[in-house]
């Protein structure tokens, strides 16, 4: 077992280091095979550890930080929570690595890409397997650095480099709060062991536990893109699509949820912390779902969807339903990775077009992409009997069972958010895959005219939707997606659709995941009868189907083409408000960036240039003029030099005379 745990962690590190050091000297196939192979062997080791698992296990690989009474060795901890996380991370990331081989086939910088992708997996595994907080923090910062490097992977374009910097800076806000919490916990408890800390909460006043919980929540807000630190995630779409899938599905954004779930036995004792977590999650879920309704960029729709679904997980943690939150985390990893990878197939086929209003008719032209994408969409929308339906319902049921004004309100907000989720999900499906019309191959076209039945012809603006006649068989051949990319979608589709089996409601199977996590996860329980649970499931199912009906009413048949024509006009009003993410970036620019720029301008123009530089310039001018005046004495005339010598001797004699007279007077 110890060997399995060590290999789970060290193999992705080995792959990352080898590709970083000598990857460019290796043949491309060897570098790609190494990057994919180490992750899959790590998954095999994870599966072997799962089979052999009997009880929580600590494995100390070596000493790391030690000074006086402070000790933080490299100690790994395997329990049910970390084990299911490791299985999910290695499997989903393994598929993403294979997909990336096809997606990045034409990119010359493959060695750097796969090195960073491997290191990303290693950092996330360190985070979930760490037994102490400094080691967890190392993995926490590791995924932050790797995300920065991968989001800005195509750094030669300024917007990509800016997106990477934005992600790095915003998440540092949360990381600072998390770091303060780590130091404070050591000062309070004289230990940084997670297992020990979770058993010592009773020693501290409730106010201290509340403060620690809020600091950890701020850390989770940054890493998991929750209000108000969510602005970095939509811009993170600048990175390659496999990076987006890995960040949004299996690694970085789930780190905050994992942290709160791991530390819940300590911080969950505070009702204030639970309420703050639940409120943050509920509000974030609604905010992001509303923004997704108006997005035109395919990947940004999925980005806001991720923020919303992580909000659901936060709501589950805040309700004390750690099992439900973990359940949704796992199922979400499957269907969100599926949706991002399928979106990458669409983007590849359309020559890197990402505007959903410039797509259509792909249901027939890309069937191996459409059906898995549809499977992921029904999971995201929460249609009955899918994995997403059961996991989301478990969280909403926990909120209902918690009761009270706060949690009752969050339950209703969660239901409304579920309706919005269904609407934006099927809007995306109808626009991307629906209709009988399709854009001509990009290498043949450019800007032209829109031709629609009943609407005549209108000129195509750069922001408009270029759809025209259906593709012929010859033209459809231009919509090519490597089979390697499409085949990776199938296992994710199956896991998304049937992932609910791992924790079906107790009255059906006994809830395997809940029973497996019960020995480790200490969360609150909610008493909801089977009748209530069935009623709540029925309400959630009706809302999901209502969302589908709304979208069909708006985008079905000829109405889809009308929406495409209307999309030519610039966004305004509520649409513009949602399209710009409630203008959160503009608000932060007004509150923080503009005052900082104004202060920087004051220091630059008035202090640096007006005082420091100006005083130095004046001193230099004075010295220069003095030098010029002294230099004027250098005339070459002996009489001037003799006069100067006499004047100097006179000054010296006068000085000595003054000294003698002064000392004589004393």
639: number of Cβ within 10 Å:
8
Nearest-CA neighbor of 139 among 124, 119, 120?
A: 124
Q: What was the pLDDT predicted at 452?
A: 34
Measuring CA to CA, how many Å separate 466 from each of 42, 451, 570? 45, 9, 15
Question: What's the CA gap between 266 and 209, in Å, rounded?
Answer: 7
Give the DSSP letter string of 417-473: HHHHHHHHHHHHHHHHH-SS--PPPTTT--S-EEEETTTEEEEPPTTS----SPPPH
Maximum mean pLDDT: which of 348-357, 461-470, 484-493, 653-662: 484-493
Q: Are 127 and 12 in contact (CB under 8 A)?
A: no
Residue 262: which of 128, 150, 386 has the closest Cα? 128
Q: Extract the tokens encoding 381.
A: 């929308």
**Nearest 10 degrees: Cα torsion 166, 167, 173, 178:** -170
Q: Which DSSP state fits 60?
A: E
Give the mean model confidence (pLDDT) for residues 13-38. Answer: 95
Mean pLDDT across 72-92 = 95
- 403 pLDDT tier (thresholds 50, 70, 90): confident
Asked if residue 141 has pLDDT above 90, the reply is yes
CB 257 within 8 A of CB 317: yes
Rounded CA separation 171/151 (Å): 13
- Helical spans, DSSP H, in 593-632: 594-601, 614-631
Phi, psi of 458 (to 5 degrees): -130, 145
β-pairing, 70-78 vs 57-67, is antiparallel
Burial of residue 446 (CB within 10 Å: 0-12, 13-18, 19+) is exposed
248 vs 228, residue with greater confidence:
228
Q: How far apart are CA 14 and CA 7, in angstroms?
A: 10
Lowest mean pLDDT among 11-15, 233-237, 333-337, 460-464: 460-464
d(CA 290, CA 262): 30
Residue 53 CA neighbour count, 13 Å, CB half: 23
* pLDDT of residue 568 exceeding 50: yes
- Is residue 42 classed as helix, strand or coil in its secondary structure? helix
- Cβ neighbourhood burial of 440 (10 Å; 0-12, 13-18, 19+): middle
* Mean pLDDT of the 629-641 span: 77
Query: Minimal CA–CA distance to 75: which of 128, 135, 122?
Result: 135
Position 616 scores a pLDDT of: 87
Q: Around 423, how many Cα atoms within 13 Å sit in the side-chain half-sphere?
A: 20
Distance CA(437)–CA(439), nearest Å, equals 7
End-to-end, the C-alpha distance of the chain in Å comes to 93
Q: What is the CA radius of gyration of the chain?
A: 32
Nearest to 497 by CA among 373, 407, 664, 361: 373
Q: 93 with 488: CB under 8 angstroms?
A: no
- Rounded to an integer, the average pLDDT of 25-35 is 95
Q: What angle do CA 350, 356, 362 make, to 5 degrees?
A: 55
Give the confidence band of 1 by pLDDT, cuts at 50, 70, 90.
Answer: confident
pLDDT, residue 254, reads: 93
pLDDT value at 464 more than 60: no
166-187 residue pLDDT tens = 999 999 999 999 999 999 999 9
* C-alpha distances out from residue 133 to 191, 217, 258, 371, 377, Å: 9, 15, 13, 43, 37
What DSSP character marks residue 224? Answer: T
- Tens of pLDDT, residue by residue over 493-532, are 999 999 888 887 664 555 788 888 887 766 555 667 888 8
* pTM of the entire predicted model: 0.88
| Mean pLDDT of all residues belonging to the chain | 88
3-state helix, strand, coil in the chain (%, to 5): 75, 5, 20
Helices (H), 108-249: 110-129, 133-151, 158-189, 194-197, 206-223, 232-235, 241-245
Question: 453: which 2 tokens?
Answer: 């039945």
More confident residue, 372 or 468: 372
Q: What is the 3-state secondary structure (H, E, C) of 234-294?
A: HHHHHCCHHHHHHHHHHCHHHHHHHHHHHCHHHHCCCHHHHHHHHHHHHHHHHHHHHHHCC
Can you give the pLDDT at residue 469?
A: 42
Give the highest mean pLDDT range of 297-311, 468-482, 555-569.
Answer: 297-311
Contact between 330 and 88 under an 8 Å Cβ cutoff? The reply is yes
Strand, coil or helix: 661: helix
pLDDT, tens digit (0-9, with 9 covering 90-100), for 337-371: 999 999 999 999 888 889 999 888 888 889 999 99
Banded pLDDT at 587 (limits 50, 70, 90)? very high
Say yes or no to pLDDT of 276 above 80. Answer: yes
Q: Which residue has the higher pLDDT, 59 or 641?
A: 59
Other C-beta atoms lying within 10 Å of the C-beta of residue 463: 14
Q: What percentage of the chain has pLDDT greater than the value 70?
A: 91
What pLDDT score does 467 carry? 45
> Is the pLDDT higher at 327 or at 526?
327
Quote the percentage of the chain above a pLDDT of 90. Answer: 66
């Amino acid at each position: 077992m110890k060997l399995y745990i060590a290999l789970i962690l060290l193999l992705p590190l080995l792959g990352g280091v080898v590709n970083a050091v000598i990857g460019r000297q290796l043949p491309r196939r060897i570098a790609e095979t190494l990057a994919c192979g180490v992750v899959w062997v790590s998954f095999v080791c994870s599966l072997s550890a799962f089979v052999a698992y009997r009880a929580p296990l600590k494995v100390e690989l070596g000493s790391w930080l030690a000074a006086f009474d402070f000790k933080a060795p490299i100690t790994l901890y395997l329990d049910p929570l970390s084990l299911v996380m490791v299985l999910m991370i290695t499997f989903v990331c393994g598929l993403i690595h294979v997909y990336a081989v096809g997606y990045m086939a034409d990119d010359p910088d493959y060695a750097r890409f796969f090195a960073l992708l491997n290191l990303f997996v290693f950092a996330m595994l360190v985070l979930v397997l760490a037994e102490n907080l400094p080691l967890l923090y190392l993995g926490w910062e590791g995924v932050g650095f790797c995300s920065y490097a991968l989001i800005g992977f195509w750094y030669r374009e300024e917007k990509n480099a800016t997106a990477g910097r934005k992600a790095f800076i915003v998440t540092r806000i949360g990381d600072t709060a998390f770091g303060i919490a780590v130091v404070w916990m050591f000062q309070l408890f004289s230990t940084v062991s997670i297992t020990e800390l979770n058993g010592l909460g009773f020693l501290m006043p409730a106010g201290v536990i509340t403060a620690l919980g809020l600091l950890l929540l701020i850390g989770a807000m940054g890493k998991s893109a929750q209000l108000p630190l969510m602005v970095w995630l939509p811009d993170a779409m600048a990175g390659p699509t496999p990076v987006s899938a890995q960040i949004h599905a299996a690694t970085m954004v789930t780190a905050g949820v994992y942290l709160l779930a791991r530390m819940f036995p300590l911080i969950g004792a505070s009702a204030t912390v639970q309420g703050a977590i639940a409120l943050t999650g509920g509000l974030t879920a609604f905010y992001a779902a509303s923004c997704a309704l108006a997005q035109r960029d395919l990947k940004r729709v999925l980005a806001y969807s991720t923020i919303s679904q992580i909000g659901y997980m936060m709501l589950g943690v805040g309700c004390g339903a750690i099992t439900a939150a973990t359940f949704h985390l796992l199922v979400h990893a499957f269907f969100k990775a599926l949706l991002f990878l399928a979106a990458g197939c669409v983007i590849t086929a359309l020559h890197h077009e990402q505007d959903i209003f410039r797509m259509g008719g792909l249901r027939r032209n890309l069937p191996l992409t459409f059906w898995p994408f549809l499977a992921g969409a029904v999971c995201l929308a929460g249609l009955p009997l899918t994995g997403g339906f059961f996991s989301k319902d478990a969280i909403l049921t926990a909120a209902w069972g918690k009761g009270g004004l706060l949690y009752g309100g969050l339950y209703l907000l969660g239901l409304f958010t579920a309706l919005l989720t269904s609407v934006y999900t099927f809007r995306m499906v109808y626009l991307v895959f629906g209709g009988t019309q399709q854009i001509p191959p990009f290498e043949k076209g450019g800007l032209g005219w829109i031709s629609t039945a009943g609407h005549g012809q209108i000129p195509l603006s750069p922001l408009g939707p270029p759809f025209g006649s259906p593709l012929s068989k010859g033209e459809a051949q231009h919509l090519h997606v490597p089979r390697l990319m499409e085949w990776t979608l199938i296992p994710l589709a199956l896991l998304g659709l049937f992932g609910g089996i791992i924790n079906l409601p107790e009255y059906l199977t006994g809830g395997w995941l809940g029973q497996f996590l019960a020995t480790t996860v200490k969360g609150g329980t909610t008493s909801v009868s089977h009748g209530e649970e069935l009623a709540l499931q029925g309400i959630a199912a009706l809302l999901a189907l209502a969302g589908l009906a709304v979208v069909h009413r708006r985008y079905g048949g000829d109405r889809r083409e009308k929406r495409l024509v209307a999309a030519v006009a610039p966004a305004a009003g509520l649409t513009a408000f949602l399209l710009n993410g409630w203008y959160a970036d503009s608000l932060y620019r007004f509150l923080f960036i503009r005052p900082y720029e104004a202060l920087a301008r004051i220091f630059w123009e008035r202090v640096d240039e007006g005082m420091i530089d100006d005083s130095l310039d004046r001193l230099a001018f004075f010295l220069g003029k003095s030098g010029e005046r002294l230099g004027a004495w250098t005339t070459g005339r002996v009489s001037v030099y003799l006069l100067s010598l006499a004047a100097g001797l006179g000054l010296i004699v006068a000085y000595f005379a003054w000294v003698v007279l002064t000392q004589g007077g004393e």
